[in-house]
Chain A
Amino acid sequence: MSKGLHIPEELLDKIEYILDHLAEKARTDCILLADISGQLISVQGFMEEGTPAIVAALAAGDVAAMAELSSRIGESDPHGSFFHEGETKSIYLHNISGSFILIVIFRTETPIGLVRLFAKRAVEQLVPLTKEFEQVMGPPKTYNPDEFSKGITQELEDTFPTN
């Protein structure tokens, strides 16, 4: 099992550049990048309604279910995509190598073909970057493991205050 996902700043810069480019070309409202377990990695743009973390969690469930559905009919494409067309806004989801998810939210005036075209190009650029994600980076200079463990106790009290 992996030790977890560690994303260094320089990789985030490259990811955001790709997402910015996609947003501009495809005229999207908001673009999210999440890992396959639903952890939000990057947000480009603004969601008028909803919370990015929740959208990422739900998208992960959707992509996982769709991948399972596809496998039941003999398909095993790790880069599958699908979209939901709404009355005013639509969502396009793209599975990246079975490990990450690109989530694009756009207005229905924007043609789905445009989104699909530029999203595919973005995914091609994202694939090599996501392979670097597992690289473990050093902790921040302020990080002290003993302090971190002790601090949790106090933070738990503040998060779940007694009445």
Chain B
Amino acid sequence: MFINWRLREINLKIVYYGPSLSGKTTSLQYIHSRTNPERRGELVSLKTREDRTLYFDYMQFEMGAISGLKPRFNIYTVPGQVYYRGTRKLVLKGVDGLVFVADSQIRRLHENVEAIKDLYEDLVELGFSPGELPIVLQCNKRDLPEIMPVQSIKEQLGLNGIPTFESVALEGIGVLDGLKSIVNSVVTKARGNIN
């Protein structure tokens, strides 16, 4: 969180995290397409030649002033592939809230579990306490066959009790619900820190 009292702006950082090909970039592309054009910045993607996320995807959107403060959100995705762990940790610096995008397919369970383990290890190394950060679970690819029940995904990932949304990112289903939830959680936490 960064507050600029002169401009009356509060800057908040949200990161979409999850295993490779779980739908993080697709979610961000949908969010960008649905954001009021007057309130959004450009969508930036640093990709490999194979069109996979190399470093991160990034967009910014802002809201109107509320109670004298203008919220501005910086949204990032991380590259999901195992060997980009170092990059993921760098993108997590200064994060205010997380959306964990899980791949609902049964055969991707292992990748989901490895990703959440990496996430927690990185957060601890960055100085966060467990449970300190607002987090939302987005169970993606709910339209595919052979998917796990949402409750099983939550249990396997140790994410019981956190807000959870079923999504089909390619069609935009459930994506904005997850984003709005994390925005509300982040703002609630930021509100406590401003006081």
Q: Tell me the A residues contacting B by CB distance below 8 Å.
A: 1, 3-9, 12, 35-41, 51, 53-54, 57-58, 60-61, 64-65, 68, 137, 139-145, 147-149, 151-153, 155-156, 158-161
Contacts and interface: CB of A to CB of B under 8 A. Distances in A.
B26 interface: no
26 contacts: A3-B193, A4-B1, A4-B190, A7-B3, A7-B5, A7-B6, A39-B13, A53-B41, A54-B44, A61-B46, A61-B55, A61-B56, A61-B91, A68-B90, A139-B195, A140-B69, A142-B68, A148-B191, A148-B194, A149-B191, A152-B183, A152-B184, A152-B187, A155-B63, A155-B66, A159-B39
Nearest to B92: A37
Interface secondary structure of B, over-half rule: mixed
B71 interface: yes
A61 B79 CA distance: 13
A143 B74 contact: no
Contact of A36 (B55, B61, B93): B93
Contacts of A37: 13, 93-95
Interface in B142-195: 176, 179-180, 183-184, 187-188, 190-191, 193-195
Interface residues of B, number: 56
B194 to A, nearest CB: 5
B67 interface: yes
B163 to A, nearest CB: 15
Interface string B110-146: 0000000000000000111100100000000000000
A39 B74 contact: yes
A68 B86 contact: yes
**3 nearest interchain CB pairs?**
A37-B94, A142-B68, A4-B1
